[in-house]
Chains A and B, each alone.
Chain A
Amino acid sequence: MRSIRRHLTLTILAGFGLLLLASGGAIYFFTRLALLNEFDASLRVKALTLMNQTERGEGGGIHVELPDAAFSSGADQFFPQYYELWGTNGLRCARAERLAETDLPCRTGPLAQPVYWDLDLPGDRDGRAIGVQFTLKTEDGEPAPKVPTPLLLVVAADRHDLDNTLGTLASVLGVTGLLAGLMTVPLVRHAVRRGHAPLGELARQTAAITAESLQTRFPVASLPAELQPIASRLNDLLARLADSFERERRFSADLAHELRTPLAELRTLAEVELAWPEGGAPARAMETLHIALQMETMVRRLLELARCEGGRVPLHMEPVPLAALVAEVWPALAGRATERELTVHFEISSDAVCATDRAMLRSILVNLLANLVEYTPAGGQGSVRWDPVARELSFRNPAGELTAADLPHLFERLWRKDPARSGGEHVGLGLPLSLALAGALGARLEAQLGADGVLVMGLRWER
């Protein structure tokens, strides 16, 4: 499994290692360059000294005047230990005694651009050489006419000290880099662990959340700025999850109640009848049938709701005259409205037509009208209106005991205002089913409670 902490640690360590290597390499490179330049400058000084000490002998030969002590002391600053001088014709004019019979390679350049190179000196010693071409001058600065020009001079020096210095530098850089690298490992690990701690804590708290602890909230203010948006979103998500779980729990409890109560009625009815049989079998059978029908209605509605929410209801869209459909549905409810002394006004123009699924819209109308009839206080007034501009069919009735706090629950499955859930005619599935059907039809079903205490259920078609 990928670990951010491990990845971060390895990346930082690798980066730091590369940085150390690059820094060490750069220090070594530039220091070596500077030391070589200094060494080459020293060689150049020696070559110039030698050039100045070169003169024409009385026989026309080239003669180099150098004090022997300077060559043998080994502490020379100005006089070369190894040198060799040639004429342009390739004949050697002079050579340092220390070279004995060994010749130095002859690679030269003009005085302005001398040639430098590394070479092996006698005695298996590493050395560095400078090669220049120069012309002997007379005392008054004019070129000596009888001497072939130019002369070729190679001066070399032992670079043992230089290599020792560079070796020491490389060792110091390597050991320092290694130590720094070793010390960096725990430091980086500690820093990453410390920096990673809030993330780890957040992960631990998240992992500890279960269905039973959805009330947990992350302390956003105390978290680092980078984690605050995550914690904030997690808190929102938890709140939504808790709300969803609560709804599911409520639904399960309500469903259990809706099923358990008629089951208890059926069972008790049967057991009492078996224990103390009496006459009146048709009445008992009617009771049993009533309970069975009530349970059947609930199960059927739950299945319809599941089908509708699952998008498994086929649509047959057609132009449906609304006034005619309402007139078709109303007679089945008119009796109950009369019984409750309700007055219901219908304000739907005869030319109001919607392209919709007739059967599904009928089902919505039955539910909304049944609610209007059932929940309007006895003797009250309700209305059904069609607004052609807003394309909304609204059902208005006095809300009775319904409050604004109840509105969010109106479309929840099995929700009922009465916490006792007494009576089995309305189980709280009509509105959720209507909402799902409206969604399938591409319409919106909304509930609003006016300040005058009138509940408005609006079924609106999008244009």
Chain B
Amino acid sequence: MRVLLVEDSVRLQQSLGKALSQSGYTVDLSGDGEHGLWLAEANDYDALILDVMLPKLDGLTVLRRLRAQGTQTPILLLTARDTVADRVTGLQSGADDYLVKPFALQELLARVQVLCRRHYATRSNRLALGDLELDLTARTVTRGGQPLDLTARELRLLEYLVRRRGQIVTRGEIETHIYDDAVDLMSNVVDSAICTLRKKLEAPGCPPLIHTKRGLGYTLKEPA
């Protein structure tokens, strides 16, 4: 899952960025409204965390512009303003959720998770495909009841594929949602990650889950 955090407090940026990364999200950071809007327009995010009081362009304006452009990405407003009028204004401007500073980190992570789930029209924190089960809260994966040892990035990749089960997922989409800007996307990082994930998922005797569509991408299908 890829999220964009637009927050002008550098300390909050760093802390939340770390927390989101550690929770399995790919995080892009921005410190002002103009840059945040540019990032949101240029990339396909699973969720946006948007501070309201931002330099250059305030968060509500960013929100309205994105909604006016038809962007459906779930957006969580993060702000120190806590009056009912402020919340109503935020929600009526198109925000999906509203969190007042200071907040509990776990609450923020839970809300971001809900927004991402909503993006993929699922309601549970547990994903299943045949005998494969993902617990997004505990960040664990089992197949046939046997726990699998996946890295954070492998878990993100698997979650993304499971959410888009039955669909062909292109390399570009995987790059966008799983990797941040620091990764050299010209490399075969996606292919090698898929290869590693396959090895961990498909132990000898287990039917394959990830299928390659030549020239198109990958698809995750429940074994027949």
- The reply on A281 being an interface residue by CB < 8 A is no
Residues of B within 8 A of A260 (CB): 80, 82, 100-102
Q: A291 at the A/B interface (Cβ < 8 Å)?
A: yes
CB-contact partner of A256 in B9, B15, B16, B81, under 8 A: B81
Q: Are A420 and B15 in contact (CB under 8 A)?
A: no
Give the CA-CA distance A291 to B11 in the complex, in Å.
Answer: 9
Q: By the criterion of a CB under 8 Å from any partner CB, how many residues of chain B are at the interface? A: 26
Report Cα–Cα, A253/B82, bound state, in Å. 9
Is B166 an interface residue, CB under 8 A from the partner?
no
Q: Check if A421 sits within 8 Å of B105, measured CB to CB.
A: no
Q: Is A63 part of the binding interface, using a Cβ–Cβ cutoff of 8 Å?
A: no
Q: What residues of A have a CB within 8 angstroms of the CB of B206 in the complex? A: none
Give Cα distance in the complex from A275 to B15, angstroms: 11
Task: Give the nearest-CB partner of A255 in chain B.
Answer: B80
CB distance from A309 to the nearest CB of B (A): 25
Are B53 and A265 touching (Cβ within 8 A)?
A: no
Which of A263, A265, A422 is in CB contact (< 8 Å) with B15?
Answer: A265
Q: Are B8 and A256 within 8 A (Cβ)?
A: no
Asked if B42 is an interface residue, CB under 8 A from chain A, the answer is no
- A419 near B53 with CB under 8 A, answer yes
Q: Which of A253, A261, A418 has the most CB of B within 10 A?
A: A261
Q: Is A276's CB within 8 Å of the partner chain B?
A: yes
Report yes or no: B103 in contact with A264, Cβ–Cβ below 8 A: yes
Residue of B nearest to A249 (CB): B83
Judge if A233 is at the interface, Cβ distance under 8 Å.
no
Given known pairs A275-B105, A419-B58, A422-B8, the reply for A268 and B19 (CB within 8 Å) is yes
In contact, B53 and A420 (Cβ under 8 angstroms) = yes
Kindly state the separation between the CA atoms of A321 and B32 in the bound complex, as whole angstroms. 46
> Are A264's CB and B102's CB within 8 A?
yes
**A421–B54 alpha-carbon span in the complex (Å):** 8
Q: Is A201 part of the binding interface, using a Cβ–Cβ cutoff of 8 Å?
A: no
Nearest CB on B from A286, distance (A): 11
Quick one: closest A residue to B55, CB to CB? A420
In the complex, given contacts A264-B12, A271-B104, what are 9 additional A-B residue pairs having Cβ atoms less than 8 angstroms apart? A253-B81, A257-B53, A260-B82, A261-B80, A264-B101, A271-B106, A287-B11, A419-B53, A420-B56
Interface residues of A (CB under 8 A from B): 253, 256-257, 260-261, 263-269, 271-272, 275-276, 287, 291, 418-422
